[in-house]
Amino acid sequence: MDCSQRKIARIHDFNLDFDHMSSRLCELQKQYPSGLIIPIMGKDIQSPGIPKMIEEINQCQYLTRVMIALSAESQDDYEEALRVSRNFKVPCQVAWCNKPEVTTVLEELKHKGLDVVSLSGKGKDVWIATGIAQLDLFAIALHDADITTYDRMIPTKLLYPIIEPKLDFFFSKGYYARINMKTRKMYGRITRLFIGPLLEVLQEKLQYSKFLTYMQSFSYPLSGELALYSDLATHIRIPNDWGLELGLLSELYRNAAYRRICEVDLGIYDHRHKQVTPDSLLKTAEDGFITLLRTLTEMENIEVSEPFLTSLQVAYRRLAQDKIRQYHAEAICNNFDFNRHDEEVDVDLLCNVIVSGGRKYLQNPIRAQLPDWLRTIAAMPDIRERLRDEAIEQ
């Protein structure tokens, strides 16, 4: 079994025990109150995995609060979210992040020079929810609502390393094997076939980058399962688009020491799978690539150009094809269902993202990022309280 450590501390699940960790978190609850944020679209509030998630979270008595960060298309979506929230035994709030009254508050912020009204998406919902949570929580965990293998250990594993006073972490990130053991298929294609090879190729082209070394230290940089101090959440900017996870890691690179970051083994993990299409995983890959280019320009002063993108595309394709051979060997030995042709097709599609995403970056290198909460509060000191009052039914 792998017990290695990298630049980022790894917490392996050799013998992580819920009763022990939960009991300890309960002891520390008053001094270090923690909560869980679950961003969700209104159309997904009735997903079949939600009841199982609620059942597991209800065993996490150490949680001070659960907050559903809801993007609702209608009042009916919101009412349904409220109905679902009543099944929680842990105190649960629904923050309607795109509620008209919330937009009115953000319009005032726009008049003060910070425009987030024109932005929409998961990043904005997380930004609003973390702003509200900062008011009375010491630590915040975050994960999506489509985890089909959910269990009570997910928030427990994420929060324990940053709340336990014997440790010194203020950010933890989940990592896992993206495998469906029932269908015996490997997933995690954007990480396996795009981000991983891309980081490796960029590192070779730049002939060593501290930022890329940092990014390569994470076992699963695209995982959406994380926990952090509320105070840290006030200092970081996050992208509004699907580059959220990579953007958070980039901001941590600016604001945190390596020794205060850890990653936690969440085991074998599965969630609702998306297709490699322009409006789904290709969009995720493109936004993530643009985030990497922007950060490398800021940190390493690289010059992005058409020749650079073409050269990167050629090198990426060859390395990604090499990775497919490795995953094919993994699948054969483990008796997994692995379609090598489909993986090759995915790499061809992802290869095009390098040029399309790169061109979008060149057209608008300063893409909209949500402001950090320190700046937001400086512009409008009571904004978090006002967002809380408008987004959450009292």
Measured distance CA(251)–CA(285) in Å, rounded: 19
- Classify residue 337 by burial, with Cβ atoms within 10 Å: 0-12, 13-18, 19+: exposed
Q: Using the 8-state DSSP alphabet, how is residue 71 labeled?
A: E
Tokens of 212: 């890329």
- Classify residue 285 by burial, with Cβ atoms within 10 Å: 0-12, 13-18, 19+: buried
- Residue 271 banded pLDDT, cuts 50, 70, 90: low
| Residue 305, pLDDT score | 94
Length of the chain, in residues: 394
Beta carbons of 330 and 261 less than 8 angstroms apart: no
- Residue 283 banded pLDDT, cuts 50, 70, 90: confident
Is the pLDDT confidence value at 72 over 80?
yes
Beta carbons of 386 and 376 less than 8 angstroms apart: no
283: how many CB neighbours lie within 10 A of its CB?
Answer: 16
Domain 9-389: which CATH class? alpha beta
Which helix (DSSP H) or strand (DSSP E) does residue 298 occupy? Answer: helix 281-300
The CA dihedral of 285, 339, 345, 179, to the nearest 10 degrees, is 0
The whole model's pTM is what?
Answer: 0.93
pLDDT in tens, 182-231: 888 888 889 999 999 999 999 999 988 999 999 999 999 989 899 999 99
- Classify residue 176 by burial, with Cβ atoms within 10 Å: 0-12, 13-18, 19+: buried
- Residue 171 banded pLDDT, cuts 50, 70, 90: very high
148: how many CB neighbours lie within 10 A of its CB?
Answer: 16
| Residue 243, pLDDT score | 73
Is the pLDDT confidence value at 270 over 90?
no
**What are the C-alpha distances in Å from 11 to residues 40, 147, 230, 239?**
28, 21, 22, 27
- Residue 105 banded pLDDT, cuts 50, 70, 90: very high
Between the two ends of the chain, the Cα-to-Cα distance in Å is: 50
Tokens of 99: 């509620």
How many helices (H) does the chain have, and how many strands (E)? 16, 11
Average pLDDT, the chain: 91
Tokens of 61: 């008595």
| Residue 160, pLDDT score | 98
Beta carbons of 92 and 61 less than 8 angstroms apart: no
Tokens of 283: 């969009």
**What are the C-alpha distances in Å from 199 to residues 115, 203, 211, 255, 298?**
32, 6, 10, 21, 16
Q: What is the 3-state secondary structure (H, E, C) of 1-52?
A: CCCCCCCCEEECCCCCCHHHHHHHHHHCCCCCCEEEEEEEEHHHCCCCCHHH
Is the pLDDT confidence value at 86 over 90?
yes
Percent of the chain with pLDDT over 70: 95
| Residue 6, pLDDT score | 84
* In the chain, where the domains are located: 9-389
- Residue 158 banded pLDDT, cuts 50, 70, 90: very high
Judged by phi (left if over 0) then psi (alpha if -120 to 50, else beta), residue 354 lies in alpha
**Residue 66 phi, psi dihedral angles, 5° rounding:** -110, 135
Query: What does 75-122 look like in DSSP terms, one character per residue?
Result: HHHHHHHHHHHTT-SS-EEEEETT-HHHHHHHHHHHHTT---TT--SH
